[in-house]
Amino acid sequence: MSCDLQGDTAILQLTSGVYFGLDAVGTRIWTLLATPSSVATLVDAIAAEFDVDRSRCAQDIVALLDDLEANGLVTVTPS
């Protein structure tokens, strides 16, 4: 479960008891992940909204998704 902290987000993984914090960009990705999305869709949306280099953006999003997956917060499937 997650809660809004004035633009940032805190997430609690209930089984492990681990807390996660997301900044504004992470929060936007977390919100987009409420509906299943492809990595390409996420990169398009974030690169457009936050004025960031597309390849750097893709790198960071994949790293975040890996982290979230390692902690049981998202499921990543091969397309």
Partner 1 sequence: MPDPYIVYGLRVRSELPLPELLPDPKPGDAAPDIELRMGDGAGGAADLSSPWSLPLTDPADYHPAAPGLLPIHLGRDAQGDFADVLWAPIGRCIARTGAEDGISRITLIPAANVPDDMLRLIVLGPIIGIVLHLRGWLVLHASAVELNGGAIAIMGEAGRGKSTTAGALAVHGHRLVADDVVAIPPAAPGTPVTTVPGFPQLKLWPDAATVVTDTAAALPRLVATAEKRVHRVPEQFAATPLPLRALFVLDDAPEGASHAAPLLPAADAFIELVRNAYGARTFERADAARRFAQMGRVAATVPTRRLRVRRGLEHLPALVTLIESLAS
Choose between 27 and 43: whose C-beta lies nearer to partner 1: 27
Residue 38 CA, chain-centre distance (Å), reads 12
Provide the minimum distance between the beta carbon of 43 and partner 1 in the complex, in angstroms, as a whole number: 24
Alpha carbon 62 to its chain centroid, in Å, reads 9
H runs (alpha helix) in the chain: 24-32, 39-50, 54-70
Chain residues in the site for partner 1 (CB under 8 A)? 1, 3-8, 10, 12, 14, 17, 19, 21, 23
Smallest gap from Cβ 11 to partner 1, in A, equals: 9
- Shortest distance, CB of residue 67 to partner 1, whole angstroms? 17
